[in-house]
Amino acid sequence: NMELFSPTVPGMLIEDDVPIPAVNKFPASFMNHLLRNMSEVNYTTDSNCFANDLNAMSEGRLEILKDKIVERGNQLLRSPKYGIVNPRTRIHLNDELSGSIKTKYEALNDPLRNKPKHVTTENALEVGNFRRERLDYYMAERAKCDDPEYPNSQWISVDMNQDKMNPRYKYYPKEYLGEHYPLNVGLEVCRAKGGKNNRDEAWLFTRVGPFVGTGGYDWHEVTIDNLPRDNNGYSFVTAKMFAPVTENGTILGYPPVHAHHVHYDVDGVQHWQDSHGDSVCTEELGGVACYLKEEREGYGLHLLEHDQIQLDFILND
């Protein structure tokens, strides 16, 4: 099964009939130079994951983490690897309008060009723990869909042909590379009301599947038009979760399943939301919890009532 998760917040977040501003994200460069020296991980993958999750932290927790980043950065610069006697690592606002945050290193040369080996830090553990906490929250919300105490939040099968969703599922066994078999695929949705801080919030879960392969890098390619969504007029997507799951909902990492790509397209604009195989972090940094991405409190991606959503993805077994 492929599981999608998109909590949406109704238009109460609109003030004076003006949508809330675009999400201020930490650019990947915020961690690119520093994180590669902090953990034995692929720094490109994890720095992008890391930057997104910083947006979801509370201000107090974020300040503590930023202080740790500065402290660790200065320690690295003073180490024999770099030999900077008086380093100064600063975190600053890039400009007042964007509010984006970057790290700035004041040194005569670029000491962080290469990745030293076997370097670890408590910062990665802090972020990993934060991600796992958020995943626990997500799992608790999704559990409502299987709980009879929430009769209005149960899985509902969708007739995709009647709803003009035009499902396409192609199965490519590795031993017949180049040939594919069109197969049928099902779709279920569940809407769970509620959310953190008792806000007027709805969580929309979508499951696509099942998928059966022989392993050895089989390909499962799916495209679905007009994906079900909340039609509350103005709404905002405040988080997303695209992940392969077992029949009982257990989230699968890689191995055994590689999410080649998952694209959540709005009105033909691809990659409006997406997830890829490298979205899974090391266990230290959260593992499969990195599939869950949340926007910062009070922000979201704006959806209009007439917007149409298309889903396309490839899973490798």
Which pLDDT band holds residue 107 (cuts at 50, 70, 90)?
A: very low
Which DSSP symbol is given to 151? T
Taking residues 177-202, report their average pLDDT: 75
3-49 confidence digits (pLDDT tens): 555 444 332 222 223 232 333 333 333 334 344 333 322 223 334 44
Between CA 203 and CA 153 the distance in angstroms is 10
226-237 confidence digits (pLDDT tens): 888 775 555 778
Map residue 206 onto helix, strand or coil: strand
DSSP assignments along 104-129, one per residue: EEE-SS-TTSS--SS---HHHHHHHH
Q: What is the pLDDT of residue 34?
A: 42
Taking residues 70-76, report their average pLDDT: 68
Q: Cβ neighbours of residue 274 under 8 Å, at least 6 residues apart?
A: 242, 261, 262, 263, 264
Question: Percentages helix, strand, coil for the chain, rounded to the nearest 5?
Answer: 25, 30, 45
Q: What is the pLDDT of residue 83?
A: 64
Map residue 180 onto helix, strand or coil: coil
Which sequence spans correspond to the domains of the chain?
2-20+140-316, 29-106
Between CA 93 and CA 102 the distance in angstroms is 7
- Higher-confidence residue of 10 and 307: namely 307
- Higher-confidence residue of 48 and 66: namely 66
Residue 73's nearest CA partner among 108, 43, 99, 112 is 112
Q: Are 103 and 69 in contact (CB under 8 A)?
A: yes
Indicate whether this model's pTM tops 0.85: no
Taking residues 167-172, report their average pLDDT: 89
Q: What is the pLDDT of residue 57?
A: 63
Q: What is the pLDDT of residue 190?
A: 92
Q: What is the pLDDT of residue 202?
A: 79
